[in-house]
Amino acid sequence: MSLFSRKKSLDVLMAQAGDSEKGLKRTLGAGSLIALGIGAIIGAGLFVRTAAAAGEHAGPAVTLSFIVAAIGCAFAGLCYAEFASMIPIAGSAYTYAYATMGELIAWIIGWALILEYALGAATVSIAWSEFLNKLLEQFHLGAIPYEWSHSPFERALDINNVMHVGIMNVPALFILLLLSLLLIKGTQESALVNSVIVIVKVAIVILFIIVGWKYINPANHTPFMIPKNAPPALKPDGTFFDYGADIRNNGLIGVLSGAGVVFFAFIGFDAVSTAAQEAKNPKRDMPIGILGSLVICTILYVLFSWVLTGVAPYTDFVKSGKEASVAYAIETYMKDQLWLAKTVTIAILAGFSSVILVMLMGQSRVFYTMASDGLLPKMFSDLHPKYRTPYKSNMILFLFVGAFAAFVPSKIAGDLTSIGTLFAFILVCIGVWVMRVNDPDRERPFKTPLVPLVPILGVVVCTIMIVLLPRDTQLSALGWMVLGLLVYFGYSKANSKLKE
């Protein structure tokens, strides 16, 4: 049996999905699934990526960049929705690939998902630590010492010209531990906490849109796209950003380049599919959760970016820095609403918390399924006798992600999270097309429209995004994949339950 013909039959998968006595507990409804999607999507992207894309590429037309990126995500989302409704089992893209393209491709995609979920959770937890310090400073409560909120590879001079060297990022480790314990306690409890967080951060985003709307200066939206002859913008280091130096910095190409930047603000809706085995009515609720969260976030992104670029000129976002851009806009152009800057910081912290929660949940469910197939050690699929959650997987994942968050700078991860996600999107799009050809009569509670056009467009858009990523990121991802193949041929191939 070749590695590509080693496939899990859909009948076997459906039997696994129906075994509710031994498997994961089905506790999630459509509302919880939508909240999981929003929890994973709305994080740093809304506050950081908007300013970066507007300031350097699209200007006020960043609203169009969000729409373009959303269309690209929708192609993949439609394919995810079809698979999640017909194969309601944990594992997401890994499981779909196993059923359509064979064990080796499934392993590769499962290995790639570690980049999205595990490294994504680590990177966001580091950002959570940074914004916790910002919040403490805003409320004049004093910051956590630099040494205990940064990795040993980071150093900085304070205002007294004293050099500080990091020891360990304790806040990042703390939030990972807290959320890991919550996930061990139960999926329903985790979903409830996530839903509360989602309500808080969405309410604050809507509040910014409503309050900020009356501060919009129409002149800031004219011209809508950055002209080629736009005056250079001052950067924080005192140099100037030249909009005419690169076609990606102005006009329609700038809008498309901006879409590449904000595309990564949408990462997370696919994490909903990892909870398919815990959905009460997956055939109906999974498409609602995946596509519903994508639609809601797109609307919020477009409105938020319209207000932000209306309140402040796009050139300000080159100077003011990515993280501080929203607070900067409020403090500079909405001076009678300074309280809003603090609530935005709270929203960012809440957003990071829910992103970490859903990423940890997604990774543990992928590990659970891979271990159930024999491709990882059995302990990753062991369920807690009372809570019926993959507690050992959650504990091991905390140690791995926690070590990264506590001792490694966030920039090391770079865009690896994104490249893993895009690779998963590509294989899911291909898988839907393959399944339509190989098993056209299979029941499909939700059908991706315009097959093969939609899957092909999904593959094209995601491939372009990968090509546009930095070369160092591409090489790092290649190295990660080589390591994954060594693990597969050294352990997983011989232990697979489908071995000859």
Summarize pLDDT for 202-244 with one digit per residue, the tens.
888 899 899 999 999 999 998 898 888 888 887 765 677 788 7
Pick from 85-89, 107-111, 294-298: least confident? 85-89
Query: Cβ distance 97 to 109 under 8 Å?
Result: yes
Which of 266-275, 418-427, 446-455 is modeled with the greatest confidence? Answer: 446-455
Question: What's the confidence (pLDDT) of residue 64?
Answer: 93
Other beta carbons within 10 angstroms of residue 50's beta carbon come to 28
Name the pLDDT band for 322 (thresholds 50, 70, 90).
low
Name the pLDDT band for 25 (thresholds 50, 70, 90).
low
- Residues 121-125: what's their mean pLDDT? 85
- Residues 266-271: what's their mean pLDDT? 74
C-alpha closest to that of 403 among 133, 208, 168: 168
Task: Report whether pLDDT(414) > 60.
Answer: no
Q: Identify the burial level of 11 via C-beta atoms within 10 angstroms of its C-beta, where 0-12 means exposed, 13-18 middle and 19 or more buried.
A: exposed
Between 225 and 327, name the one with better pLDDT: 225
Question: What's the confidence (pLDDT) of residue 456?
Answer: 94
Euclidean distance between CA atoms 418 and 467, whole angstroms? 12
In DSSP terms, which residues pair with 234 in a beta bridge? Answer: 240
- Residues 313-317: what's their mean pLDDT? 87
Euclidean distance between CA atoms 323 and 344, whole angstroms? 11
Task: Report whether pLDDT(360) > 60.
Answer: yes
- Domain 10-495 part of CATH 1.20.1740.10: yes
Strand pairing of 163-165 and 155-157?
antiparallel
Question: What's the confidence (pLDDT) of residue 395?
Answer: 92
Joined tokens for residue 269: 């809706």
Task: Report whether pLDDT(21) > 60.
Answer: no
Euclidean distance between CA atoms 241 and 475, whole angstroms? 28
pTM above 0.85, yes or no: no
- Residues 343-370: what's their mean pLDDT? 83
Between 211 and 499, name the one with better pLDDT: 211
Q: Is the peptide bond before 223 cis (omega within 30 degrees of 0)?
A: yes
Contacts of 460 (CB under 8 A, 6+ apart): none
Joined tokens for residue 444: 């499909």
Summarize pLDDT for 178-193 with one digit per residue, the tens.
999 988 887 677 777 7
Pick from 243-247, 274-278, 314-318, 387-391: least confident? 274-278
Euclidean distance between CA atoms 171 and 6, whole angstroms? 44
Joined tokens for residue 307: 């207000």
Name the pLDDT band for 173 (thresholds 50, 70, 90).
very high
Name the pLDDT band for 94 (thresholds 50, 70, 90).
confident
Give the up-direction half-sphere exposure of residue 305: CA atoms within 13 A in the CB hemisphere.
31
Tokens 């130096």 sit at which residue?
245
HEC string of the chain?
Answer: CCCCCCCCCHHHHHHHHHCCCCCCCCCECHHHHHHHHHHHHCCHHHHHHHHHHHHHHHHHHHHHHHHHHHHHHHHHHHHHHHHHHHCCCCCCHHHHHHHHCCHHHHHHHHHHHHHHHHHHHHHHHHHHHHHHHHHHHHCCCCCCCHHHECCCCCEEECCCCCEEECCCEHHHHHHHHHHHHHHHHCHHHHHHHHHHHHHHHHHHHHHHHHHHHCCCCHHHHCCCCCCCCCCCEECCCCCEECCCCCHHHCHHHHHHHHHHHHHHHHCCHHHHHHHHHHECCHHHHHHHHHHHHHHHHHHHHHHHHHHHHHHCCCCHHHHCCCCCHHHHHHHHHCHHHCHHHHHHHHHHHHHHHHHHHHHHHHHHHHHHHHHHCCCCCHHHHCCCCCCCCCHHHHHHHHHHHHHHHHHCCHHHCCCHHHHHHHHHHHHHHHHHHHHHHHCCCCCCCCCCCCCCHHHHHHHHHHHHHHHHCCHHHHHHHHHHHHHHHHHHHHHHHHHCCCCC
Query: Cβ distance 282 to 88 under 8 Å?
Result: yes
Q: What is the mean pLDDT of the chain?
A: 82
What are the residue boundaries of the structural domains of the chain, listed by start? 10-495
Q: To the nearest whole percent, how much of the chain has pLDDT over 90?
A: 17
Name the pLDDT band for 454 (thresholds 50, 70, 90).
very high
Euclidean distance between CA atoms 163 and 159, whole angstroms? 10
Question: What's the confidence (pLDDT) of residue 215?
Answer: 94
Question: What's the confidence (pLDDT) of residue 56?
Answer: 83
Task: Report whether pLDDT(4) > 70.
Answer: no
Euclidean distance between CA atoms 9 and 99, whole angstroms? 6
Cα–Cα distances in angstroms (integers) from residue 50 to residues 39, 63, 266, 380, in the given order:
18, 9, 12, 38
Question: What's the confidence (pLDDT) of residue 431?
Answer: 87
Between 32 and 307, name the one with better pLDDT: 307
Query: Cβ distance 153 to 410 under 8 Å?
Result: no
Question: What's the confidence (pLDDT) of residue 22?
Answer: 54
Give the up-direction half-sphere exposure of residue 410: CA atoms within 13 A in the CB hemisphere.
15
C-alpha closest to that of 294 among 312, 268, 262, 330: 268
Question: What's the confidence (pLDDT) of residue 156?
Answer: 74
Task: Report whether pLDDT(136) > 60.
Answer: yes
Query: Cβ distance 87 to 10 under 8 Å?
Result: yes
Joined tokens for residue 280: 């009460």
Task: Report whether pLDDT(451) > 70.
Answer: yes
Question: What's the confidence (pLDDT) of residue 411?
Answer: 57
Question: What's the confidence (pLDDT) of residue 415?
Answer: 59
Between 193 and 294, name the one with better pLDDT: 294
Q: To the nearest whole percent, how much of the chain has pLDDT over 70?
A: 90
Joined tokens for residue 365: 């469910």
Task: Report whether pLDDT(139) > 90.
Answer: no
Joined tokens for residue 190: 């985790």
Task: Report whether pLDDT(75) > 60.
Answer: yes
- Residues 89-115: what's their mean pLDDT? 82
Euclidean distance between CA atoms 493 and 425, whole angstroms? 24
- Residues 18-38: what's their mean pLDDT? 69
User: How far does CA 96 lie from the centroid of its chain?
Assistant: 19
Contacts of 55 (CB under 8 A, 6+ apart): 233, 241, 314, 315, 316, 317, 318, 325
